[in-house]
Amino acid sequence: MELKNQEDQYLSSVKNALRILKSFTMDEPEKKVSDISTSLGLNKSTVSRTMATLASEGFVHKDPETKKYSLGLSLLSLSSIVNSNTDVYRESYPVLNRLVENLGETAHISVIDKLEVIYLQKVECNHPVRFLTHVGRRNPPHCTSSGKVLLAYADEELVNAVLEQGLEKYTKNTITDPIKLLANLKEIKKNGYSTSFEELNEGVNSIAAPVYDYRGKVIAALSVVGPKQRIQSHKVQGFAKKIIAAAKEVSDRMGYRG
Amino acid sequence: MELKNQEDQYLSSVKNALRILKSFTMDEPEKKVSDISTSLGLNKSTVSRTMATLASEGFVHKDPETKKYSLGLSLLSLSSIVNSNTDVYRESYPVLNRLVENLGETAHISVIDKLEVIYLQKVECNHPVRFLTHVGRRNPPHCTSSGKVLLAYADEELVNAVLEQGLEKYTKNTITDPIKLLANLKEIKKNGYSTSFEELNEGVNSIAAPVYDYRGKVIAALSVVGPKQRIQSHKVQGFAKKIIAAAKEVSDRMGYRG
DNA sequence: ATACTTGTTGCATATAGAGCAACACGAGCG
DNA sequence: CGCTCGTGTTGCTCTATATGCAACAAGTAT
């Protein structure tokens, strides 16, 4: 008998519901039944009934006036549980706090999930903020300091998968040549930290260092982000030293011995 | 024909999946298939297949070593979208920042959802923190300053529903007598702010004020929380004045004219 | 006023999903 | 070390569910 199709073993109506949830984005946080039906290729009665079920458990909320759906507070509740169980989340918090006070810039902890960088933890500086990042946000790995440091220490197959999905150009500084990216990753591993100079957003620079677990595996990145006026090229060495030290401290608290 | 059972119109396999997700708690962030099967009354093969489907979309994660499931990062991503669409979340942020700098204590924005208080926004002070609250956390409304201020301005039917679900005692200061709570709510409405003196957690005090939307409806609470050594009874008037002013400012930014 | 779009819901039908049983694997115990 | 028990997976069967169609209601646009 032929090998079973992987998709055949999943519950299709549950899949529908999850795909509907994931269709909401920052750019489109409110959606109509008909829009979802069109974009996901599902019958409008299917979408309507699935939405009613999601709403009954608080996963979406229907605006009674506009009839549009948005994501519901049950997701917020569950997300607060996601992190509570993550060692790096808890152990990094005091370290990020001190780093932010020390450097005066916003700091994050992030990991790679499904070929993207996702921010688990954020401690903000006192400067007026522009919501460039936030916990839960996903970003491409090839043009963020977090992403590049995680790729530098990652398995070759993860790196290859990222290269295969393409290196999208976000600014004039984005590295889109695979050969140049691989060279950059090698340099990052040598330096022990990575940088991104306006590679994802104009005017925004960041520096990141690897966080190790007790087995010596790189499991997260600790990064600092700010405007290029405050994170200038000539300051990078001093910032990097402190960021590496902070990442080392988080690693130590994770049971790393190196 | 008899009136249709409300539950009959929901998709049962989607309901199962959502109930499984909601079964995870802070106290039990990791669960086994058999535990979920027992606690939710579902067949273990049903739970197993539902979990596999949830995992395929990143809503849960299976630890390959322990075989235990925990909530996945897709929930974190989606939760970051939940708030981006909330006016009070965006408008309150700079106000909370200034208040925290001014008072030196942690501040929140919260709302009532399904008879519970849920924290939408949190700005932390520089004191060592104990993770008493976090965004997404739910708390009972009858013994938190946020909850009490929201109840004070709420419809009678919401207040009655809260009374009907019972007033659980958390500390020796928790108000468990409905008559006393209603009297307290009346006083809160008169004063324009509420307090909680160790009513939910020992040693923790908080003060909250109502946030209005453009129609003059109370849609959120702005609160400040800290240890009783720093938020003492004799300081409440001074703190309350600043908290009311901050809540007023958020209300103004929401289009409130009052 | 009419036409169109959207969302809901009754109904029919096909199949998906639930549950059973068997199996594989690992843990615990004697 | 062998046996027992618990856990999780998966093949299979059967029925109840979920999907889609069509009709309808309501709102919007012309």
**Each residue of A204-226: pLDDT tens digit?**
999 999 999 988 999 999 999 99
Same domain, B124 and B207: yes
A203 vs B65, higher pLDDT: A203
Same domain, B58 and B98: no
Two tokens at A75?
């997701």
CA distance A50 to B234: 53
Same domain, B135 and B195: yes
CATH number at residue B40: 1.10.10.10
CATH number at residue A168: 3.30.450.40
Q: Is residue B193 a part of any domain in this protein?
A: yes
Overall average pLDDT of the B224-242 stretch: 91
Q: Is residue A70 a part of any domain in this protein?
A: yes
Two tokens at B255?
């289009």
pLDDT digits (tens, 9 = 90+) for A232-252: 888 889 999 999 999 999 999
In the numeric block, the tokens 């700010």 are attached to: A226
Predicted local distance difference test score (pLDDT) of residue B128: 66
Q: Does B76 touch chain A (CB under 8 A)?
A: yes
Nearest to A17 among B14, B78, B85 (CB): B14
- CB-based contact B123:B106 (threshold 8 Å): yes
Same domain, B140 and B63: no
Q: Is residue B258 a part of any domain in this protein?
A: no
Overall average pLDDT of the A82-90 stretch: 84
Residues in Cβ contact with A30 at an 8 Å cutoff, skipping those fewer than 6 apart: A63, A66, A68, A69, A70, B85
pLDDT at A8 over 90: no
Same domain, B156 and B28: no
Q: Is residue B1 a part of any domain in this protein?
A: no
Task: Tally DSSP H helices, then E strands, for chain B.
Answer: 9, 9
What is the interface pTM, i.e. ipTM, of the complex?
Answer: 0.90
Q: Is residue A258 a part of any domain in this protein?
A: no
Domain boundary pick from A77, A97, A130: A77
Q: Is residue A1 a part of any domain in this protein?
A: no
- CB-based contact A116:A138 (threshold 8 Å): yes
Predicted local distance difference test score (pLDDT) of residue B110: 96
CA distance B147 to B53: 37
pLDDT digits (tens, 9 = 90+) for B74-111: 999 999 999 877 888 888 988 998 999 899 899 999 99
Nearest to B11 among A53, A101, A137 (CB): A53
E-only strand ranges, B124-247: 138-139, 194-197, 204-212, 218-227
Same domain, B60 and B150: no
Average pLDDT along chain A:
91
- CB-based contact A109:A222 (threshold 8 Å): yes
Interatomic distance A45 CA / D24 C1' (Å): 14
Same domain, B59 and B90: no
Contacts of A114 in chain B (CB under 8 A): 58
Cβ contact (<8 Å) for B9 and A70? no
pLDDT digits (tens, 9 = 90+) for A105-159: 999 999 999 899 999 998 888 776 565 678 899 999 999 999 999 999 999 999 9
Domain boundary pick from A57, A77, A97: A77
Residues in Cβ contact with A38 at an 8 Å cutoff, skipping those fewer than 6 apart: none
pLDDT digits (tens, 9 = 90+) for B117-167: 999 998 888 776 565 678 899 999 999 999 999 999 999 999 999 999 999
Q: Is residue B216 a part of any domain in this protein?
A: yes
Question: What residues does A204 pair with on adjacent strands?
Answer: A227
Cβ contact (<8 Å) for A22 and B70? no
Residue at B218: amino acid letter? V
Residue nearest to nucleotide C15 (CA to C1'): A12
Residue of B nearest to A13 (CA): B14
Same domain, B70 and B104: no
**How large is the C-alpha radius of gyration of chain B?**
21
CB pairs under 8 A between A and B: 170
- CB-based contact A33:A23 (threshold 8 Å): no
Same domain, B66 and B143: no
Residues in Cβ contact with B84 at an 8 Å cutoff, skipping those fewer than 6 apart: A26, A29, A134, B90
Q: Please give the helix or strand (H or E) that residue A249 lies within, else none.
A: helix A236-253
Same domain, A50 and A102: no
Same domain, A136 and A235: yes
Residue at A167: amino acid letter? L
CA distance B69 to B56: 13
**pLDDT range class, residue A1, cuts 50, 70, 90:** very low
Q: Does B153 touch chain A (CB under 8 A)?
A: no
Same domain, B90 and B41: no
* Contact positions of strand D to protein Cβ (< 7 A): 6-11, 17-22
Predicted local distance difference test score (pLDDT) of residue A131: 57
Q: Is residue A131 a part of any domain in this protein?
A: yes
What range defines the domain where residue A165 resides? 86-253
Question: What residues does A221 pair with on adjacent strands?
Answer: A110, A210
pLDDT digits (tens, 9 = 90+) for B165-217: 999 999 999 999 999 999 999 999 999 999 999 999 999 999 999 999 988 99
Residue of B nearest to A98 (CA): B126
As for how many domains chain B has, the answer is 2
Domain boundary pick from B74, B97, B114: B74
Residues near strand C (C-beta below 7 A) are: A 10-14, 32-35, 37, 44-45, 48-49, 51-52, 62, 67-68; B 4, 9, 12-13, 16, 42-43, 45-46, 49-50
Contacts of A14 in chain B (CB under 8 A): 13-14, 16-17, 50, 53-54
Question: What residues does A226 pair with on adjacent strands?
Answer: A205
